[in-house]
Structure 1
């Protein structure tokens, strides 16, 4: 529409005399035939046609120096990817064989190079951080700060890193550095979670255990949207930076942050001491930074598409739904009836029942 108005504007049709301010008809340039804009077929839908976002660009070499043109993107058309989509028929047996081999190799290398006190560096690393301060709260925050700096720093360097060494190689580098640091932080928390100053003790309150358990269970549905692509995590498939739009993303654009906050609040309420608070503060701050950094990286990678999705989603859970920016489909529940969510349910229940094994394994490391 803007291009049509500009092409018929009197300042475009006539050369205006600076002295007399009147048009000279003999100087009217020949008009070019008007070309019909090539709109996306999705705009033929009557509902979508009323919700269009126009992105302005500058067309060079126009008769008035520059002219704004419009590139329409329907606000309600799907621009992102379908979260948790999984087609069993599209899977290759060889890919999952590679995944199993890679996973086994990574766990073996992690044990030899980091976990095993006789060969790995994990014990020396944790001891060096612990020696800075005798306070478990300070050590917890330092471990969190180191992990967060490395993890978010490497994530921010993803684009130039992938160009330099390739996507798969960068994923191996990213995981190879982040995984040992994350494990050290988790093990230290398990071993020292009751070492701090006790601020409250309400574990005997009726219903509290069930509340903490349910909160932790729900948090895992928010925490791991990226692990739906396990083959990419293991670099079997080429890793991609995804722009998710459906499923849990309709509730919040940053489910990992929301899940981490839920988990931290539940465990801090249950444990009730200063170590739990320090761990929760570190984790929440790290994920709040991830909200800003994640949006920044997606904006760089996807540009207009991300800006549209950003407008119809929210960071705060359910905010976009409540203010009408996000309309849930009538069959929204089907976006959760998928194999990845079944896997998360099984793994979450397994992790709960494996708590004694996890704790005994952590105690054996003496970190």
Structure 2
């Protein structure tokens, strides 16, 4: 699992770091399609392998019989999705239907955290670690969190290089830790900025995952074996 996470981190974060270089040579659309064409299959393999092996290793704890655990895990997971998928705000840029652009955001979820995907990933890991309780899940969570901590540093570095003073102003008025900039007076939350169609889409996706969860493990076991064999050649 650590090997797969490392490979994905190299592909994903490495591709993000090479964006300016690649876009200058291939164009924004072609580079995005190349990046997505490599990153998305790699992510699917990692997810499939995780789902097929999540209970492997030593069972360190088992809280699944506790009455409070299911609502805690699902509420925490739902909130994590709201942080994990801000890219859905520009969904048509992912397949390059619209020209992909690098932007500075200072509204909505960015007021809570400048790196919402890292926050969402930590929250997702916490809830699933609580639910599964296996040594495999501990290793997976450590790898995912380490990758996102690197992505926080790498993302700030890339934006600082690209936008200069404009990013430094954004950095000064936001925080990585959720709500820190709000609590110390550098930010104010604006409720209307969170009322976006993409958030409704995420809420629907959470509902679909709830319904389909019973089938995911079985499908993942079959898929991950074939996909991993294909990805590794």
Task: Indicate the TM-score class for this superposition, using the shorter chain for normalisation.
Answer: over 0.9
Structure 2 distance, partners of 1:366, 1:290, is: 26
Per the alignment, residue 100 of structure 2 pairs with: 239
1:335 paired to 2:196: no
User: Structure 1 length as normaliser, TM-score?
Assistant: 0.60
Structure 2 distance, partners of 1:231, 1:262, is: 27
Per the alignment, residue 348 of structure 1 pairs with: 206
Structure 2 distance, partners of 1:227, 1:152, is: 19
TM-aligned CA deviation for residue 340 of structure 1:
1.1
**Does the CA-based 8 Å contact 2:83-2:119 persist in structure 1?**
yes
**Which string of whole-angstrom CA distances, capped at 9 and with x for unpartnered residues, describes residues 56-83 of structure 1?**
xxxxxxxxxxxxxxxxxxxxxxxxxxxx
1:179 paired to 2:37: no
Per the alignment, residue 86 of structure 2 pairs with: 225
Per the alignment, residue 222 of structure 2 pairs with: 364
TM-aligned CA deviation for residue 205 of structure 1:
1.6
Instruction: Return the structure number with greater strand share.
Output: 1
Structure 2 distance, partners of 1:365, 1:218, is: 28
TM-aligned CA deviation for residue 366 of structure 1:
5.5
Per the alignment, residue 306 of structure 1 pairs with: 167
Structure with larger RCO (C-alpha < 8 A, sep 6+) = 2
* Among 99, 116, 135, the residue aligned to 1:255: 116
Per the alignment, residue 193 of structure 1 pairs with: 54
**Which string of whole-angstrom CA distances, capped at 9 and with x for unpartnered residues, describes residues 161-192 of structure 1?**
10011111100110111111111110011001
Structure 2 distance, partners of 1:172, 1:346, is: 26
Structure 2 distance, partners of 1:300, 1:291, is: 14
SS of 1:354 mapped into structure 2: helix
TM-aligned CA deviation for residue 363 of structure 1:
2.1
TM-aligned CA deviation for residue 196 of structure 1:
1.3
Distance 1:172 1:265, change over 3 A: same
Structure 2 distance, partners of 1:262, 1:169, is: 33
* Among 195, 198, 210, the residue aligned to 2:71: 210
Structure 1 distance, partners of 2:206, 2:150, is: 26
Structure 2 distance, partners of 1:150, 1:196, is: 27
Pairs within 5 Å for 1:1-40: none
Moved over 6 A (4+): none
Structure 2 distance, partners of 1:225, 1:275, is: 28
Structure 1 distance, partners of 2:48, 2:143, is: 15
Unmatched 5+ stretches in structure 1? 1-139
Larger radius of gyration: 1
**Does the CA-based 8 Å contact 2:121-2:144 persist in structure 1?**
yes
Unmatched 5+ stretches in structure 2? 226-233
Instruction: Return the structure number with greater helix share.
Output: 2
**Does the CA-based 8 Å contact 2:8-2:42 persist in structure 1?**
yes
Structure 1 distance, partners of 2:150, 2:175, is: 16
Structure 1 distance, partners of 2:209, 2:142, is: 23
RMSD: 1.0
Structure 1 distance, partners of 2:126, 2:224, is: 26
Per the alignment, residue 137 of structure 2 pairs with: 276
> How many residue pairs align between the two structures?
225
